[in-house]
Amino acid sequence: KIARAASEVTGIDLPDLMDAFGVTFVSFVGQYGYDRILRVLGRHVRDFLNGLDNLHEYLRFSYPKLQPPSFFCEEESSMGLTLHYRSRRRGFVHYVKGQLRQVGFLFYQTEINVEVLKETDHAEGLTHVVFRLHFNNRAYKINRHHLGNTCTDSLLPVRSDVFFEVFPFNVVFGEDMLIRRVGIGLQNIFEKLEGRQIEESFTLNRPLVKFTWENVLNHTNNLFELVSRLPIERTSLHGKSSMSDGGSDAPEGFNTLANENDRCLTLKGQMMFMEDWKSVIFIGTPIMENLEQMFMTGLYINDLSMHDSSRDLVLAGTQQSAELKLALDQEQQKSSKLEESMRMLDVEMKKTDELLYQMIPKAVADRLRKGEASVETCEVFQEVTILFSDVVGFTKICSRITPMQVVSMLNSMYTLFDQLTEKHNVYKVETIGDAYMVVSGAPEKTRFHAHYVADMALDMLRSMKHLQDPSTGDTLQIRIGVHSGMVVAGVVGLKMPRWCLFGDTVNTASRMESS
C-alpha cells in the first residue's frame, strides 16, 4: 500500500519503485551491522545464492515470528544460474530483483542481470517466481576443476550402527519415501517409524516445496526443517503417559499443560543422497527453545549429540532466557511506574490547561506556548460588543454584612453569570469587585456579537430574581451597560498576565453602565 501510494505521488512506475526499494534496503541494513552477515554467506556470488535460503534461518533467534521466503538454485553454468523464489507474500518480485543486483554490486563487485522467466500464484497463497541470473560465474569453473581432482583414496570404514549412534536424529528413506532407518534418538521417542511413509510422520516446513523425492534431491544445498505430525506423549519410567495422569511425573516448575504444537518435535538439518544405499539420509538436530519444551517432547540432554553445540544451545538458552525474563520483569515494572507517572502528569497538565484557559483565551495561550512574545499576541478587532455590570448599592450592602457574606453573595451571582456566558457564546474578560465584564466578537470573531451580548444582558436581569440581598432579604439589582465598536486585545504584563481590551469602546461601555 505504501509503495502504491508513493508511486501515485511520485509518478514512478510501481515495479521500478519496488526495485529501487530493494536496492536501498541492502544499503540500509548495512547501517545496523547486517551487512557483515551478508558478506560471510559465501566466497563468491554462487556461494551466496546457494546459501540464500538459509539466510533467514540465521535471523531466527532475533526474529522468531519471521515467515521467510524460500530460494533454490539450479541449471548453473559459467554464465549464471536459475533461481527459484517462493514466498507467501505477493508483490515483492521486483523488490527481490533490486536486492540481488545490489548484493552482487556491493559485496562481490559483480554485475547481475535478473530476468523473470515465470511467475505463478498458487491457490494456497504461495507465489513462485523463476529468475534467470546472468553474471560472470567463474567460481563455477573453479569448483568443477576441484571436483575433477578429488582424492579417490578409500576412507576408513564406519559401521552403520556407529554412524546412527553418532547422528542420533537421522532419518534414512528411499525413493519410495519409506523410512528405512532412524537414529537412536528418534527411536527413543517414536514407535515404529521404520517402514512408514516419511510424509505421514513429518511435515516439511522448509524449503517451501512439496515433500517429494525429486524436490529433496534438487534442494540438497538447502536447510530442511521437519516437524512431527502428531504431538509426542511423554512416557514415565513405568511406561505410562504422563499426560494422561495429569503430569505427575513432571518435575517441579515445569508446565505440563503445553499445547500440542509445543509437543511436536522440530528437526533441522541437511539432506544427503547416499549412492551406495540408493537412499537419502537426513542428518538433523532437534530445535528446543527451552528445557520445558524438551521435557514435554520426551528428550533429555544426553539424547543430544556431543559433537555439535546442541547441548550448549539448550542450556545456555535456558540460562539466558531466565536472565532476560528477570530483566524484562524489571523493565515492565519500570514501564508501569513510568506509565502511572505519565498518567498523573497528563492529569496535572489538563488541570493547568483548564486554569490557563480561564485566564487567557486558548488560541492566545497556544501562541504564547510556542514562544511568541506577549506583545505579538495583540490584535485589532473591528467589531465587538462589550458588556459591563455591577450591583446597585454595593457599598451600602457591604457595610451591613460580613466579608464572608460578601464573598458568598458575589460567588452565587458570578456562578450564574458564568453559566450564561457558555449559553450565549460570549467571553468573560474579568471581574473587579462587583463589576462583571464580557465581550463578544473577540477572541472569536462573529457578526452576531451584538445579538449574543443583548441576550446575555436580558438573561442576567432575569437571573437576579434568584439572588437576595443578605442585609435586607430583598432581590438584588444590577446595572448593565453595553456598547459596540473597535478594540485592541492582547496579553499585557509579565506577572499574572491577563488578556485585556483597550479602546474607546471599553470606556463607553463602562460609562453606559455607571450613568
> Does 120 or 164 have the greater pLDDT score?
120
34 and 111 housed in the same domain: yes
Highest mean pLDDT among 217-226, 243-252, 340-349: 340-349
pLDDT, average across residues 33-43: 74
> Does 388 or 45 have the greater pLDDT score?
388
131 and 16 housed in the same domain: yes
Partners of residue 386 on adjacent β-strands: 439, 483
Residue 355 resides in a domain: yes
352 and 267 housed in the same domain: no
- 106-115, 159-168, 186-195, 441-450: which has the minimum mean pLDDT? 159-168
Would you mind telling me the total number of residues written for the chain in this entry? 515
Residue 364 resides in a domain: no
287 and 392 housed in the same domain: no
The residue among 148, 176, 201 that closes a domain is: 148
Could you tell me which of 96, 98, 95 has the C-alpha nearest to residue 84?
96
Could you tell me which of 498, 382, 359, 378 has the C-alpha nearest to residue 446?
382
CA 411 – CA 419 distance, rounded (Å): 12
Angle at 233 between CA 228 and CA 235, to 5 degrees: 130
Half-sphere exposure of 149 (CA within 13 A, CB side): 5
Residue 367 resides in a domain: no
CA 460 – CA 418 distance, rounded (Å): 10
- 23-32, 237-246, 358-367, 409-418: which has the minimum mean pLDDT? 237-246
Give the CATH number, domain containing residue 494.
Answer: 3.30.70.1230
130 and 21 housed in the same domain: yes
Residue 172 resides in a domain: yes
341 and 416 housed in the same domain: no
64: preceding bond cis by omega (within 30 degrees):
no
What is the phi/psi pair of residue 122, to 5°?
Answer: -90, 160
What is the phi/psi pair of residue 31, to 5°?
Answer: -70, -20
- What letter does residue 475 receive in the DSSP assignment? B
Chain centre to alpha carbon of residue 59: 18
> Which triple of cell numbers denotes residue 319?
540460562
- Whether the pLDDT of residue 300 is over 90: the answer is no
Partners of residue 500 on adjacent β-strands: 490
pLDDT, average across residues 85-102: 89
Residue 154 resides in a domain: no
487 and 394 housed in the same domain: yes
> How many C-beta neighbours within 10 Å does residue 9 have?
8
Q: Is 358 exposed, middle or buried (0-12, 13-18, 19+ CB in 10 A)?
A: exposed
- What letter does residue 238 receive in the DSSP assignment? T
Cα diameter, the chain: 126
High-pLDDT (> 70) share of the chain, %? 81
List Cβ<8 Å contacts ≥24 apart for 417-422.
417/389, 417/460, 417/463, 420/456, 420/459, 420/460, 420/463, 421/456
pLDDT at 239: 42
Cβ-based neighbours of 343, under 8 Å, separated by 6 or more: none
Q: What is the edge-to-edge ordering of all strands in the sheet holding 70-77? A: 70-77, 80-87, 127-134, 113-121
56 and 164 housed in the same domain: no
pLDDT at 318: 52
54 and 175 housed in the same domain: no
List Cβ<8 Å contacts ≥24 apart for 462-465.
463/416, 463/417, 463/420
What is the phi/psi pair of residue 44, to 5°?
Answer: -125, 175
72 and 43 housed in the same domain: yes
- Whether the pLDDT of residue 381 is over 50: the answer is yes
- Whether the pLDDT of residue 156 is over 60: the answer is no
User: SS3 string of 174-223?
Assistant: ECCCEEEEECHHHHHHCCCCCCCEHHHHEEEEECCCCCCHHHHHHCCCCC
Cβ-based neighbours of 96, under 8 Å, separated by 6 or more: 22, 69, 85, 129, 131
Which domain covers residue 396, as residue numbers?
373-514
For the chain, first and last CA: distance in Å?
A: 71
pLDDT, average across residues 422-443: 92
pLDDT, average across residues 162-172: 80
Residue 247 resides in a domain: no
Angle at 24 between CA 106 and CA 92, to 5 degrees: 110
- Whether the pLDDT of residue 224 is over 80: the answer is yes
3-state secondary structure of 111: coil
The confidence band for 1, taking pLDDT boundaries of 50, 70 and 90, is confident
What is the total count of domains within the chain?
Answer: 4
Residue 249 resides in a domain: no
pLDDT, average across residues 325-334: 78
- Whether the pLDDT of residue 500 is over 60: the answer is yes
The confidence band for 424, taking pLDDT boundaries of 50, 70 and 90, is very high
User: DSSP string of 319-376?
Assistant: HHHHHHHHHHHHHHHHHHHHHHHHHHHHHHHHHHHHHHHHHS-HHHHHHHHTT--GGG
Could you tell me which of 47, 22, 177 has the C-alpha nearest to residue 98?
22
pLDDT at 334: 86
Residue carrying the nine cell digits 507474500: 89
341 and 380 housed in the same domain: no
The residue among 100, 115, 148 that closes a domain is: 148
The answer to whether residues 505 and 487 touch, using CB atoms and an 8 Å cutoff, is yes
The confidence band for 451, taking pLDDT boundaries of 50, 70 and 90, is very high
CA 243 – CA 258 distance, rounded (Å): 10
Per-residue pLDDT tens over the stretch 268-293: 888 999 888 889 999 888 877 666 66
pLDDT, average across residues 206-220: 87
Give the CATH number, domain containing residue 61.
Answer: 3.90.1520.10
Residue 250 resides in a domain: no
Chain centre to alpha carbon of residue 250: 37
pLDDT at 20: 92
The confidence band for 63, taking pLDDT boundaries of 50, 70 and 90, is low
Give the CATH number, domain containing residue 270.
Answer: 3.30.450.260
20 and 142 housed in the same domain: yes
